Structure 1
Amino acid sequence: MAFSKVYPMYVQKAQRKNRSKDEVDRIIRWLTGYDQAGLEWHIGQHSDFATFFAEAPAIHPNVSLIKGVVCGVRVEDVPDPLMQKIRYLDKLIDELAKGKTMDKILR
């Protein structure tokens, strides 16, 4: 699945709850280590999730603090490393949409 196809859905989900695209981008940059140019490059290149995460400069060291359920599955228990990173991102965007402050989201 292309990251660039899911990214607009993340933004729409956040905006429906009066959050911003900038906040979505900040979360993605925090998780992956990309700068804004790198994030936009992958969106423009229609990178799939595997490439997007494989080329990420550095997954944040506090990623293990992300806990909870997404789509009925605990993110900390997802066995596939790629799917776990995708679920971490989903969880962070869910937290944004639910009104958590950025300080709490970015652990």
Structure 2
Amino acid sequence: MLTPDGRYIVVRGRLWRAADPHLDPEQRQTLVDALMAARRGVRAALAGGDGEALRAARADVHAAKVALGERGEVWWTDGAPDLNRRRIENTPYAAWWSLRGASAD
């Protein structure tokens, strides 16, 4: 579920930064494709026990997530802090979340 301001998705009661909505749709898809390929690389490196390939694949995951706006500098410009990975009940979104009900997650 996306927060009202579109900055985060909520997964099991935790905030995760959403991708930058200002990305061009084609650019966003290219980055999502790169992220999925990098995640497959992580899985393959883990299965093969290849530490060097694992480090490289994880770096590729990180780079794709930064490019998408999910990590690194925030994509919004109003100075609001980054609440990524925080429990929603410990954030300014707590009241909104409680109105959604327990089944909203």
Structure 2 length as normaliser, TM-score? 0.25
Structure exhibiting the larger radius of gyration computed from Cα positions = 2
Greater per-residue helix proportion? 1
Structure 1 length as normaliser, TM-score? 0.25
